[in-house]
Amino acid sequence: MKNNIKVQRAIANLTQEELAKLVSVSRQTINAMEANKYVPSTVLSLKIARVFQKPVEEIFFLQEED
């Protein structure tokens, strides 16, 4: 799974730290997701989508191998 959290963050003008606080995870988690090292849980995906006020599908995308 891929995501465009970094882009969405830039649009919303949020730092990793600020986004981390808004969805109550550590900054490492946001960083790992942006580096595609970590696939978030459904709960966290929905929370992130809520922060950016966009549907989940506009932030997270399936890849060929998924």
Partner 1 sequence: MYQKILLPSYFKKIGWWILIPTTLVGIILFITGVENAPSWMNLHVFAFFNEELLGETRLFTVIQTNITATVVSIFFIIGGYFVGFSKEKNEDEYIAQTRLYALLWAVKVNYILLIISLLFIYGLSFLYVMLYNMFTVLVLFIFRFNFMLFINAKSITGEK
Judged by the rule CB under 8 A, the positions of this chain that interact with partner 1 are: 15-16, 24-29, 31-32, 35, 38, 40-41, 43-44
Q: How far is CA 41 from the centre of its chain?
A: 11
CA distance 18 to 15: 5
Please say which residue, 43 or 64, places its beta carbon nearer to partner 1: 43
- We find the least distance from the C-beta atom of residue 65 to partner 1, in angstroms, to be 19
- We find the least distance from the C-beta atom of residue 37 to partner 1, in angstroms, to be 9
Q: Which residues contact 4 (CB under 8 A, 6 or more apart)?
A: 59, 61
